[in-house]
Amino acid sequence: MDFDKVVCSCLNITNGMIKDAVEAGATTLEEVQEKTGAGTVCGVCLDDVQHLVEQFVAECGK
Ligand code: FES
């Protein structure tokens, strides 16, 4: 995965920033939104952010 790829272009949130939020304890889309703001502007990226959260949560074994 390219961790520098921007997933939320409204706020320039990258894959890596979503991963960091999960590693910092976020386990749901809502918690990642609170930590990063991803998906809180136009909402187009929500599906992508949700998939990333699920993937990183699975990888973290939480
Ligand atoms: S691209 Fe993420 S809120 Fe607009």
21 CB near ligand 1 (under 6 Å): no
Domain boundaries, the chain: 6-60
The crossing angle, in degrees rounded to 10, of helices 46-60 and 15-23 is 50
8 CB near ligand 1 (under 6 Å): yes
Report whether 24 contacts 56 (CB < 8 A): no
CA of 9, closest atom in ligand 1: 1
* pTM assigned to the model: 0.94
CATH class of the 6-60 domain in this structure: mainly alpha
- Dump pLDDT digits (tens) for 5-61: 999 999 999 999 999 999 999 999 999 999 999 999 999 999 999 999 999 999 986
Tokens of 13: 């949130």
Q: At 13, is the secondary structure helix, strand, or coil?
A: strand
